[in-house]
Amino acid sequence: MKMRKLGNNLEVSALGLGCMSMSASYGPPADKQEMIRLIRNAHELGITLFDTAESYGPFVNEELVGEALRPIRDRVVIATKFGFDIDPATGARRGGTNSRPEHIKAVADACLKRLGTEYIDLFYQHRVDPAVPIEDVAGAVQDLVAAGKVRHFGLSEAGVQTIRRAHSVLPVTAVQSEYSLFWRGPEAELLPALEELGIGFVPFSPLGAGFLTGKIDEHTQFDPTDFRNHVPRFSPSARKANLALVEVVKTVAARKNATAAQVALAWLLAQKPWIVPIPGTTRLHRLEENLGSADLELTADDLTEINHAVAKIEIQGERLPEAAMKMTGL
């Protein structure tokens, strides 16, 4: 597996593994022992970056990731997140965001216990808290770094000015936000700012929550607990219209003897050398397929063809439900 650098000095595999879908959001949780095997298989195949969060489950995803990676802890990078107001006893959401410094520090200690580790490699603020100055958030994480509990600071779905303010207090190693051919919002302001500041970018949903694999159409039925049931971009009519995007990817994939998913990920990898996508899966054959993108070379002509074709397509539907959109800085 090729390696990439996030920020100044965090080296990780060119592709990471998003672990959320193993426990939450895409239907019922997968079998824990199978997911432990999958995570360990991912490392054997070259992945070193594993992404989780306290809110995935809540809590159970961190426990899963921690158990899976414990035997190889010194060879992997674990990223987790704070920032929501979750009852530590019940796992119930008590409200929206919570990034008060004392809460951040309490969450860090709880994360360390669930992960079974002495340090968190990359600690993201999951969503910006409008009630807490970002300078106070960065200061709290700085205290955790000084205590040896955290090694790197990250932000998720944060706007450019918030990133700049945080970075002035404590260097931000990585920003995580949605980015793919299905959602190119970061290109306007975020990517230029990250390049200027020397911050890495970790796109989640790099396959458009599965849409860019070509396995979803307007007739696809999602599990009742799948979050995509509530996403405007995944309404049947939007899916039908947005299939034009998938056809572009499939055309290039056929010529390159690759899959649509591999082309979509290779396109992301080709955008910047400091971009590290974190596709998620619960299936070994999909994991292996995704990893094939790291060796797929898209030429300048391939990229031009994709960009020109995609520019003619107007994607239908918002990328998130209205309430979730209000919690992002993008």
Active site residues: 56
Which of 217, 266, 282, 271 is closest to 18 using CA atoms? 282
Print burial letters for 53-70: b (CB count within 10 Å at least 16), e (below 16). bbbbbbbbbbbbbbbbbe
Kindly state the helix (H) or strand (E) to which residue 255 belongs, with its residue range: helix 236-256
Beta strands 120-125 and 150-156 are: parallel
The set of residues, in sequence order, having a beta carbon less than 8 Å from that of 18 and lying 6+ positions away, is: 51, 204, 278, 279, 280
Return the DSSP state at 226: B
Q: Residues near 174 by Cβ (< 8 Å), separated by ≥ 6? A: 6, 7, 10, 79, 122, 124, 152, 154, 199, 200, 201, 202, 276
d(CA 320, CA 205): 12
**Strand pairing of 84-86 and 93-97?**
antiparallel
Q: Using only the alpha carbons of the chain, give its radius of gyration.
A: 19
Residues 6+ apart with CB under 8 A from 55: 81, 84, 86, 126
Q: Residue 193, Cβ neighbours under 10 Å: how many?
A: 17
Whether omega before 186 lies within 30 degrees of 0, making that bond cis, reads no
